[in-house]
Amino acid sequence: MIRLFDLSLKLNGFPIEEAKAELDKIVHFSEEECTSFLEKKKKEIVDFHLNNNSFYRDLLGNKKIENWHDLPILNKQNLQKPLEERLSKGYSKKNIYLNKTSGSSGTPFVFAKDKYSHALTWASNIMRFGWFGIDFNHSYQARFYGIPMDFIGYQKERFKDFLTHRFRFPVFDLSDAVLEKFLKKFRTKKFDYINGYTSSIVLFAKFLEQKNIILKEICPTLKACFVTSEMLFETDKRLLEKQFGIPIISEYGASELDLIAFENPKGEWQINSETLFVEILDENNNPVPHGTEGKIVITSLFNKANPFIRYEIGDIGILDEKSTPQKPILKKLIGRTNDVAILPSGKKSPGLTFYYVTKSIIEDDGNVKEFIIKQTKLDTFEIEYVAEKELISEQIEKIKQAINLYLEPNLNFTFTRKTILKRTNRGKLKQFKSYL
């Protein structure tokens, strides 16, 4: 049988077979071999970027580096400059994987991965989903995600959906009438698993609860549901288990990095120690003991195109006391919640919808640094942003057109430029907040 998913990766220049072979070797290391591998990769990636990346050399400046903890903490603001200024020697837009973060933290930027590093990301995904009997080449996915609304972007995503054997349920409108259409698809299609934004999938489960329907009973091929991008609260997990009748698996990742943690079959949130090095630090950037909360700082061990070394992702977490270098366990993730916007028409849209709205103004020119969106009335939203200069009328018009397209017409938006945005007491910037 044709392995269409693997083939599509190969055709796009991602060496998936080599990546799978390396990942398999890493996961079979002994504890001693794992520790040695980790130290070797940390040194290799730092040395590479010091020798090949002027952006990273400038970040270090004249600082004397004697050990790992002398390395600076890289934050999202550091990365908000044109990509060409951050790429390593030998890399250009022609030989990298290029993408943009969702900006769910309020600090969007363009990033790059070398193609081998990105292949390892996919190998990691394939292995972890495989824990639950899911094979990307053959398993049919019900995908609760956004989709670009422009013609070319829309067709590209639909083609990718075809290659990766998935059916997409766009999450911009989650009103009951739309959810009823979703339900009809589950009655007629043989889905193997569900994957998508937590808040959207939870809304679907609440809809099923109102109708007293168990999803597995109408779609018996379903094996598991994987939720991502937003916090999964315990009450919501119980609701999903009850209404879907299948295991609910929570993942935690960042597009610029990789899967960070993934719930294993034992119910532990196992951190990806194969391609990442994850630290939990206090406010002075010192490591905290296992069991103590701190900011999550991550090093991408393989990405040579764009340095992510001691990168502060913007989340707070706790490592389990039983964690080892080979098998770190994330005991708790604090933050990453997204509200749902309720619009005058009755439409409900998850907070991540606003990524697709703001994406139209987020270019790699470094003007808009941060933004937050507040819903103050059913039809009224306030956008506060930090930028070097005011948004011009053409940009505002562009945003309004995107709002009409992704949400609905006749919504009122005000735009206020700020020098600084108010953060939570943990230093987190929440992109969307409803005051209804």
Residue 323 backbone dihedrals phi, psi, to 5 degrees: -65, 145
Number of CB atoms found within 10 A of residue 236's CB: 19
β-bridge pairing 96-100 and 110-114: antiparallel
> Tokens representing 167?
């059916």
Name the token pair of 332: 């708790």
Structural contact between residues 384 and 418, judged by C-beta atoms closer than 8 angstroms: yes
CA atoms within 13 A on the CB side of 285: 12
Which residue type is seen at 8?
Answer: S
State both tokens at 290: 């296992």
Closest to 200 measured CA to CA, from 135, 146, 241: 146
The CA distance from 354 to 332, in Å, is 26
| Number of Cβ atoms within 10 Å of the Cβ of 365 | 10
Distances (CA, A) of 321 to 270, 328, 331: 13, 9, 8
Residue ranges of the chain with per-residue pLDDT less than 50: 336-338, 363-364, 424-428
Nearest CA among 24, 124, 72, 96 for reference residue 303: 96
Position 147 scores a pLDDT of 79
pTM, 2 dp: 0.78
Token pair of 121 as six digits: 């990301």
Interval 55-71: pLDDT, tens:
999 999 888 888 999 99
Name the β-bridge partners of 254. Answer: 258
The answer to whether the CB of 266 falls within 8 A of the CB of 71 is no
pLDDT of residue 426: 37
Taking every pair of Cα atoms in the chain, the longest distance, rounded to a whole number of angstroms, is: 64
Terminal-to-terminal C-alpha distance of the chain:
52
Q: Annotate the chain with three-state secondary structure.
A: CCCHHHHHHHHCCCCHHHHHHHHHHHHCCCHHHHHHHHHHHHHHHHHHHHHHCHHHHHHHCCCCCCCHHHCCCECCCCCCCCHHHCCCCCCCCCCEEEEECCCCCCCCCEEEEEHHHHHHHHHHHHHHHHCCCCCCCCCCEEEEECCCCCHHHHHHHHHHHHHCCEEEEECCCCCHHHHHHHHHHHHHCCCCEEEEEHHHHHHHHHHHHHCCCCHHHHCCCCCEEEEECCCCCHHHHHHHHHHHCCCEEEEEEECCCEEEEEECCCCCEEECCCCEEEEEECCCCCECCCCCEEEEEEEECCCCCCCCCCEEEEEEEEECCCCCCCCCEEEEEECCCCCEEECCCCCEEECCHHHHHHHHHCCCCCCEEEEEEEEEECCEEEEEEEECCCCCHHHHHHHHHHHHHHCCCCCEEEEEEECCCCCCCCCCCCCEEECC
